[in-house]
Amino acid sequence: MKYATLNNGIQMPMLGFGVYQLEDSAECISTIKLALAAGYRSIDTASIYRNEVPVGKALKESGIPRADIFLTTKVWNDAQKAGNEMAALDKSLAALDTEYVDLYLIHWPCKGHYQDSWLNMERIYKSGKARAVGVSNFHTHHLDDIKKTWSVVPAVNQFEMHPRLAQQPLIAYCKAQGIVPQSWGPLGGSKSGDFREGLLQNETLTTIAAKYNKTTAQIILRWNIELGVIAIPKSTNPTRIRENIDIFDFELTQDEVLAISALNKDERLGPDPDSYPFQ
């Protein structure tokens, strides 16, 4: 495992396990246990995923000390608009059955609210209930807005990123500010109509995969690592869960990293954070 050092000095695994859409409680628990057994030590959930209770149960049942796990959750838009992020975190902590989270993120920037929300996230950070605080789905202009009043720089910005949306300007901006970039949807999505299938068969990726005797999914995840981007792929399949973490025994060349980044088409799976419908 490689680790990112966040801007407050804490270490975060460069590869984590995403649990979006793992809503069935029994499946969520068994899948997280598989992931932990495969070596994952970072779990990424959100209050809107409605699985914080099974996430907490899986962590307890695994017997792994809490201090060895990096746990992320996110504040949903309703709490952001009401300005009660702290109460939302308390609810998440109760559901997760833990005293603290390692990272608490603003899930989406709600127009007219995210600036004040960041100030509440700073209060949360100072309370010690989150070892780090950050944002998700923030464009550079959202970061510029909160920068006007921040006294704590977000530790992480989690946003959609994969070879079809390589996000180079946003990654560069985050790094310049000391914000660690993190990707969601790194493999191109899970719904029919998403472009995972086409992406995983892309010739640039299959050629590189053959060279290293890896799968194209592993090449994409390793591309994240080479770029300093934390990835949190989700899988319910035991073989793919193990496959996705088996990316720390090879390195891509600079030319290969550039070739993958050149697959960018600025194509999104999810909504644009400037115009998403659920704010």
- Residues forming contacts to ligand A2P in the complex (CB under 6 A) are 18, 185-190, 196, 200, 215, 217, 233-237, 240, 243-244
Task: Give the shortest CB-111-to-ligand A2P separation in angstroms.
Answer: 26
Q: How many residues does the chain have?
A: 279
49 catalytic residue (yes or no): yes
Does residue 89 contact residue 117 with C-beta atoms inside 8 Å? Answer: no
Whichever of 20 and 150 has its CB closer to ligand A2P, that residue is 20
Task: Give the shortest CB-52-to-ligand A2P separation in angstroms.
Answer: 19
State which residue has the least CB distance to ligand A2P: 190
Per DSSP bridges, beta strands 11-13 and 3-5 are: antiparallel
Residue in 40, 49, 104, 125 annotated catalytic = 49
Tokens 């996000």 sit at which residue? 167
Whichever of 88 and 221 has its CB closer to ligand A2P, that residue is 221
Task: Give the shortest CB-186-to-ligand A2P separation in angstroms.
Answer: 5
Whichever of 42 and 120 has its CB closer to ligand A2P, that residue is 42
Whichever of 154 and 188 has its CB closer to ligand A2P, that residue is 188
- Tell me the C-alpha to C-alpha distance, in Å, between residue 146 and each of 35, 93, 154, 180, 185: 35, 26, 10, 16, 25
Q: Partners of 105 in the beta sheet?
A: 74, 134
Please provide the DSSP assignment of 140-174 as one string. Answer: HHHHHHHHTT-SS--SEEEEE-BTTB--HHHHHHH
Task: Give the shortest CB-82-to-ligand A2P separation in angstroms.
Answer: 29
Query: What is the set of active-site residues?
Result: 49
